[in-house]
Amino acid sequence: MLRISKQFPKKKAGAIKKQVQISERSSAEIKQSFAKLWLEEKPYARYIYEVERCDNGARIFLHRPTYKHGLDFAVSVEGFKSLLRKNNSTRPSHDDVIKDLRRKLTGFPSLREELFDAIGAIYRCQEPDDILRKCPRIRRAQCGLPIDQTLRIIKWLFIEQDVTYWLGTGRNMLMSAIERKAFRIAGSELFETK
């Protein structure tokens, strides 16, 4: 009998780097675009997608596959150093974002409502550049990460959650955590408590 399965080399080849632009305006359209893109990936290959550039020139990347090997990805930001992950990772976590938002809210309490509205707009799939044009005052929140970078990271973490939690709870889980932990909004639990 001859084997049917394919044999793969022990050492993986370097990552394939691509630039992509996702401009869809709904969670469902975004998931569909990524599914189509990833169906074109070669087997046993790693990919790094450059998806966005911040005002300071830092690039945002999506890395595939992750340790879960599904349709998910990891977000990284050039020059970013997580204070909460091991090895000063360039991958921002939900808690990194929440900590950054708390710093901004403490340093600039008068911007609380505008910051919340900006994150709400990101949650509704609006683009950070459009939000910053409509709400230029939030650029004054100059502590922690630059505000455009914070908004872009949140955008990609929302998308990552959409893809990981395919049935729609992911984006809501992250928004609920931001509401509860950064903005201290009572009653913002993801699931009903009754």
The residue segments making up the domain with residue 29 are 16-182
**Contact by Cβ (8 Å): 155, 122:** yes
Task: Tell how strand 47-53 and strand 59-64 pair up.
Answer: antiparallel
Write b or e for each residue in 115-150: b if 16 or more Cβ atoms lie within 10 A of its Cβ, otherwise e: bbebbebbbebbbbeebbeebeebeebeebbebbbb
- Candidates 194, 156, 191, 154; CA nearest to 176 is 191
Q: Is residue 3 in a domain?
A: no
Q: What is the mean pLDDT of residues 45-58?
A: 95
Q: Binning pLDDT at 50, 70 and 90, where does residue 42 land?
A: confident
Asked if residue 69 has pLDDT above 70, the reply is no
- What was the pLDDT predicted at 155? 96
- What was the pLDDT predicted at 130? 96
Q: Is residue 120 in a domain?
A: yes
- What was the pLDDT predicted at 97? 96
Of residues 119 and 173, the one with the higher pLDDT is 119
Q: Is residue 80 in a domain?
A: yes
Mean pLDDT of the chain: 90
Q: Is residue 6 in a domain?
A: no
Asked if residue 172 has pLDDT above 80, the reply is yes
Q: Binning pLDDT at 50, 70 and 90, where does residue 54 land?
A: very high
Q: Is residue 145 in a domain?
A: yes
Q: Any bridge partners for residue 59, and if so which?
A: 53
Number of compact structural domains in the chain: 1
What's the pLDDT tens digit per position in 82-141?
877 777 789 999 999 999 999 999 999 999 999 999 999 999 999 999 999 999 999 999
What is d(CA 43, CA 34) in angstroms, rounded to the nearest whole number? 16
Q: Is residue 160 in a domain?
A: yes
Q: Is residue 7 in a domain?
A: no
∠ Cα 159 52 137 (to 5°): 90
Q: Binning pLDDT at 50, 70 and 90, where does residue 12 land?
A: confident
Distance of CA 49 to the CA centre of its chain: 13
Cβ contacts of 137 within 8 Å, gap of 6 or more: 111, 114
- What was the pLDDT predicted at 188? 66
Q: What is the mean pLDDT of residues 156-169?
A: 87
The amino acid at 185: I
Q: Is residue 58 in a domain?
A: yes
What is d(CA 160, CA 47) in angstroms, rounded to the nearest whole number? 15
Q: State what percent of residues in the chain have pLDDT above 90.
A: 60
Query: Which pTM value belongs to this model?
Result: 0.90
